Amino acid sequence: MKRNSILAAALCAATALTSPAFAETVLRLDEVAVGELDPAKASDYADSILMFNVYDTLVLPQQGGPGHVPHLASGWTVEGSTYTFTLRNDVTFQSGNPLRAEDVVYSIERSQALGAGLSYLLTGVSAEAVDEHTVVFTLEQPYAPFVASLVRLPIVDKALVEANKGDDEWGETFLSANGAGTGAYTVRSHNPQEETVMAKNDGYFLGVADVAPDTVRLRYGLEAATVRTLIAQGEHDISSQWLPPEVMSALADDGAQLLSETGTGAFYLKMNTTKPPLDDVNCRLALSHAFDYGTAIQMVAITDEVSAGSAATGAIPVGMFGSNGPDMVQEQNLEKAAEYLAACAYDPADMNIEVSWIAEVPLEERFALLFQSNLSQLGIQSEIQKLPWALFAEQVSKPENTPHISQIFVNAVTGDPDTLLYGMYHSSTPGTWQSPEYLNDSQVDAFLDAGRTAATDEEREAAYSGLNARLMETAPTIYGFDRQSVFAASNRVKAPALSDPSQAFGLDGMGFSFRLMEMVAE
Amino acid sequence: MSPVLRLLMRRLGISLIVLIGVSMLIFAIARIIPGDPARIALGPNATPEQVTNLRAEMHLDEPLVLQYGYFLVDISRGDLGTSLYTNRPVTLDIAQFLPATLELVLVAGIIMVALGLPLGILAARHRGRWPDHLVRIFSLLTVSAPSFVWAVILMLLFAFYLPIFPIAGRISDIYEIERTTGFLLIDTLLAGNFTAFGDAFRHLILPAVALALSGIGQAARLTRANMVETYDKPYIEMAQAYGFFPSRIARIYAFKPSLIPSLTIIGLDFAAMLGNAFLVEAVFAWPGLSRYGVAVILRKDLNAIMGTVLIIALTFLIVNIIVDLLIAFLNPRIRHSTRAN
């Protein structure tokens, strides 16, 4: 008996020594610039990552397909311009306060009052708490993508903000440093220039799997060389999408996995349709056919299989309402370009096309050089202009100051084509960074308005198909490629929403829902 | 009033005037940089109405003189406004980021002095021989390459190929140290956590060396040149004729008078490191004020630009005053002069 006890004790000790001790799993990733923690001010990628993990929204995009599914809401009904949402009754904020309809009303009113970030998506919407778990939204005008817009309305804990708002009417100081959501991760610390540390919220209403990272450290502003070394040292897990393709490629060669988030945006070369010679549609069509689409995609290729871009098939990225099929890939056609150029009212010998690129996005310089060489194939002179973002945003506010060609990456912030295309092409929104084309086309306006107010998906598909055809006809833009974000990652992490198309959200940043990730031993 | 005290008062007076001049200059320059701060702050998706509202809130539509008036009123209350980059009070940002840069620059400064001056003395004592040649080649190399190049080279050598030193941040994630002073070397000691102190020190080595290298070369070259000149003075010849030890001649009779011009340049180098540290801070993900300064300039964050530049200017002036006092201490002609200047 005594001998057995000794054996059992020895076995237990051996097991204890050989079994891996329970250790906290830490996910480290990086993003550019600072992370904005206040959900009403969130607009860029880092902000979105924070927002989607610390806060929740009434609906979520359907994973792997179109449409939206209830999230904080248990369901909704639509009657004309009135949307009635019923809230789940099992949700509590990280503070322990229960989720109530008044929190939803407070969140939308706060967003509208601050007027920052993506609050413009909710302009003209009023909200009313009918009872504790029912909220009614009333729209001033019909707006088909309203439900899609709700993915940008994170719900804030009203009671917590009110208790901590101090002198701020809307608790801006408090929310710029603290979380007040229902999300799967709580904010442990936030230094806007260094990192935000988040920890798993054990009280999350959907539960968080044990394999999800216990702690997440989102670092800001790491240099490419630093990320390269950190991943090689095993001290970093997921890079930002802004690493140069060569660095991504080197990391992939070293065994890193490549994750991707299929974009709802694209890379555009926008033509100023008010400035000669681009006020002539034939000239614009000539330039559209001269652009070397194939080489552009090769320039953002990371490996033979993975690229930060896929071939554009028209004016609308593949997968959105109205997009063309994959058989309509854009290709360079110099013969057609020469034909259109011959029909252009301007003499190519007199042309000097300004091709601008944004100084903060060095990748764009390569496309500017590519396009310059394409133009020289047509005998057109061009000059490349490097414009800091601030200067570009100012210049495009006047058509005469806007360069002939403005290179821009644009994404649909809700995943809906309306948020991508309306701001670009509707004649009521000229002269913004999205609309340096200054397009003024009644048919385009009509299609955009129809897409915005259509009652059914079929009607929207028809409207955007018409829009796509009209845009290809009038060629205000060269549709370089459909964009997808690529991230280099260590093999310690599995991220199905960033690697399996059937689980992808189709919304920038939402693939970084840490609760859906899995930390594994290498 | 003693000459040194008079010198100090005079320097303080001049510094105040310089600071006011800098504030006016930067206030004007920051507003000339192309781009609308409100548009940049609100991001690419903001509507024209949102931009207009923020411009009004920031008084950007009012005359420049009036805007400067608002700035003076605020700064007299110790309020530098809110940063549009971090959405936090600028004073909070500076309080958080300045200690990181000061710690880095102080350690780099110590390395610069501790290596630069002895190398200069060594080269001067053995001028024309191989130690001199080696120091001159080293100095040339370090002076000719900017600090960010050294940062990347050091990272490659001592982190990528030989994983000896950490390369990101100020301390490893496993340590949670209460930030009492913001200087992690001090805070870890205050917490009695010597392992964390060692970790924070290891994090400092590569960025500090990268930042100090060009200063080391400059200090060595300058010290050597001054000492070589001093060695030709008749009193050194006399000391040699008396049979004093070469080390004594070098240390007391040649080095001390040579230190005065070197000290001025070292002081300026030291202060300049505050502004130049941003690339090293960027490479090593060092959350310091220089990196913050560059980020806010690129985003035309007016309040933060003013705050950062004023703090750097103030530090520059303080370092200059300290150098002046040190020189007065080393040079009896200044120390005992009735004119003190």
Chain A CA closest to residue B83: A192
pLDDT of A129 over the 90 cut: yes
C-alpha to C-alpha distance for B301 and B290, rounded to whole angstroms: 14
Whether residue A285 lies inside any domain: the answer is yes
Q: CA of B30, closest CA in chain A: separation in Å?
A: 13
B298 and chain A: CB distance < 8 Å anywhere? Answer: yes
Q: What is the domain count for chain A?
A: 2
B292 and chain A: CB distance < 8 Å anywhere? Answer: yes
Specify whether A217 is located in the same domain as A297.
no
A426 near A448, Cβ under 8 Å? yes
Question: Crossing angle of helices B147-155/A224-233, nearest 10°?
Answer: 20
A217 and chain B: CB distance < 8 Å anywhere? Answer: yes
Chain A CA closest to residue B157: A229
C-alpha to C-alpha distance for B302 and B83, rounded to whole angstroms: 8
Q: What is the DSSP string of B109-147?
A: HHHHHHHHHHHHHHHHHTTTSHHHHHHHHHHHHHHHS-H
DSSP code of residue A312: -
Picking from B31, B49, B79, B86 by the largest number of A CB atoms within 10 A of its own CB, the best residue to mutate is B86
Q: What is the CATH number of the domain that holds A338?
A: 3.10.105.10
Smallest CA-to-CA distance from B312 within B285, B263, B264, B276 is with B276
Which 3 state secondary structure label does DSSP give A123?
Answer: coil
Over range A84-101, report the average pLDDT. 97
Q: CA of B339, closest CA in chain A: separation in Å?
A: 48
What radius of gyration, in Å, describes the C-alpha atoms of chain A?
Answer: 25
Specify whether A496 is located in the same domain as A475.
no
Higher pLDDT, B34 or A136: A136
A61: which residues sit within 8 A by CB, 6+ positions away?
A67, A68, A69, A148, A151, A415, A505, A506, A507, A510
Smallest CA-to-CA distance from A497 within A60, A36, A180 is with A60
ipTM over 0.85 threshold:
no
pLDDT of B314 over the 70 cut: yes
A to B CB pairs, distance under 8 Å: 117
The residues in A 102-141 lying below 8 A from B, measured between CB atoms, are: 115-120, 123
Whether omega before A277 lies within 30 degrees of 0, making that bond cis, reads yes
Q: CA of A230, closest CA in chain B: separation in Å?
A: 8
Question: Does B47 sit within 8 Å of A390, measured CB to CB?
Answer: no
- The model's pLDDT over B122-176, given as tens digits with 9 standing for 90+, comes to 998 888 899 999 999 999 999 888 888 999 999 999 998 898 999 888 999 888 8
- The model's pLDDT over B77-114, given as tens digits with 9 standing for 90+, comes to 888 888 888 878 899 999 999 999 999 999 999 999 99
pLDDT of B44 over the 70 cut: no
Question: Does B46 sit within 8 Å of A191, measured CB to CB?
Answer: no
Which 3 state secondary structure label does DSSP give A76?
Answer: strand
Give me B55's structure tokens: 């411009």
Specify whether A234 is located in the same domain as A326.
no
CA B105 centroid distance within chain:
5
Four-residue CA torsion sign, B95, B101, B107, B110 = negative
Smallest CA-to-CA distance from A61 within A504, A451, A412 is with A504
A41 and chain B: CB distance < 8 Å anywhere? Answer: yes
Would you mind telling me the total number of residues written for chain A in this entry? 522
Provide the 10 A C-beta neighbour count for residue A180.
30
A335: which residues sit within 8 A by CB, 6+ positions away?
none
Which 3 state secondary structure label does DSSP give A479?
Answer: strand
Question: Does B40 sit within 8 Å of A390, measured CB to CB?
Answer: yes
Smallest CA-to-CA distance from A262 within A31, A487, A104 is with A487
B54 near B42, Cβ under 8 Å? yes
> Is it true that domain B99-298 has CATH number 1.10.10.10?
no
Smallest CA-to-CA distance from B37 within B72, B97, B82, B98 is with B82
Whether residue A323 lies inside any domain: the answer is yes
Q: CA of B266, closest CA in chain A: separation in Å?
A: 30
Specify the pLDDT at position B8: 85
Specify whether A116 is located in the same domain as A175.
yes
Sheet of A134-139: strand order equals A73-79, A82-87, A134-139, A125-131
Smallest CA-to-CA distance from A413 within A507, A505, A479, A315 is with A507
Whether residue A252 lies inside any domain: the answer is no
Locus of tokens 């702690």: A215
Specify whether A281 is located in the same domain as A147.
no
Residues of A in contact with B50 (CB under 8 A): 115-116, 119-120
Specify whether A426 is located in the same domain as A356.
yes
Over range A130-158, report the average pLDDT. 95
Residues of A in contact with B160 (CB under 8 A): 228-229, 232-233
**Burial of residue A488, with CB atoms counted within 10 A of its CB: 0-12 exposed, 13-18 middle, 19 or more buried:** buried
C-alpha to C-alpha distance for A99 and A93, rounded to whole angstroms: 6
Strands (E), A373-469: 381-387, 405-411
Picking from B45, B155, B173, B296 by the largest number of A CB atoms within 10 A of its own CB, the best residue to mutate is B45
Specify whether A317 is located in the same domain as A380.
yes
What is the SS3 assignment for B28-57?
A: HHHHHCCCCHHHHHHCCCCCHHHHHHHHHH
Question: Does A194 sit within 8 Å of B88, measured CB to CB?
Answer: no
Q: What is the CATH number of the domain that holds A72?
A: 3.40.190.10
* Among the partner residues B45, B163, B287, nearest to A120 by beta-carbon distance: B45
Q: Which domain holds residue A84?
A: 26-238+490-519
Question: Does B152 sit within 8 Å of A116, measured CB to CB?
Answer: no
Lowest-confidence region among A178-192, A257-271, B327-341: B327-341
A271 and chain B: CB distance < 8 Å anywhere? Answer: no
Specify whether A496 is located in the same domain as A422.
no
C-alpha to C-alpha distance for B47 and A396, rounded to whole angstroms: 14
A475 near A288, Cβ under 8 Å? yes
B51 and chain A: CB distance < 8 Å anywhere? Answer: no
- The model's pLDDT over B258-269, given as tens digits with 9 standing for 90+, comes to 888 888 888 888
Give me A443's structure tokens: 């048919």
pLDDT of A39 over the 80 cut: yes
Provide the 10 A C-beta neighbour count for residue A112.
17
Picking from A223, A391, A414, A428 by the largest number of B CB atoms within 10 A of its own CB, the best residue to mutate is A223
Specify whether A503 is located in the same domain as A470.
no
- The model's pLDDT over A259-272, given as tens digits with 9 standing for 90+, comes to 998 867 899 999 99
* Among the partner residues A123, A191, A233, nearest to B159 by beta-carbon distance: A233
Question: Does A394 sit within 8 Å of B45, measured CB to CB?
Answer: no
Residues of A in contact with B47 (CB under 8 A): 115, 120, 123
**Binning pLDDT at 50, 70 and 90, where does residue A1 land?**
very low
B167 and chain A: CB distance < 8 Å anywhere? Answer: yes
Over range B18-27, report the average pLDDT. 90
C-alpha to C-alpha distances, A66 to A80, A396, A415, A430, A485, nearest whole angstrom: 22, 34, 9, 30, 19
Specify the pLDDT at position A14: 46
pLDDT of A3 over the 80 cut: no
**Binning pLDDT at 50, 70 and 90, where does residue A6 land?**
low
A493 near A518, Cβ under 8 Å? yes
pLDDT of A294 over the 80 cut: yes
Q: CA of A266, closest CA in chain B: separation in Å?
A: 16
Specify whether A161 is located in the same domain as A294.
no
State the number of CA atoms in the 13 A half-sphere of A482 facing the CB.
22
**Burial of residue A314, with CB atoms counted within 10 A of its CB: 0-12 exposed, 13-18 middle, 19 or more buried:** buried
Specify whether A110 is located in the same domain as A188.
yes
Q: What is the DSSP string of A28-62?
A: EEEESSPPP--TTT--SHHHHHHHHHH---SEEEP
Picking from A43, A47, A229 by the largest number of B CB atoms within 10 A of its own CB, the best residue to mutate is A229
B300 and chain A: CB distance < 8 Å anywhere? Answer: yes
Torsion of CA A289, A291, A293, A296, to 10 degrees: 180
Residues of B in contact with A172 (CB under 8 A): 87
The residues in B 209-268 lying below 8 A from A, measured between CB atoms, are: none
Whether residue A452 lies inside any domain: the answer is yes
pLDDT of A375 over the 90 cut: yes
Q: Where are the domains of chain B?
A: 1-85+300-341, 99-298
C-alpha to C-alpha distance for A445 and A428, rounded to whole angstroms: 9
C-alpha to C-alpha distance for B200 and B193, rounded to whole angstroms: 11
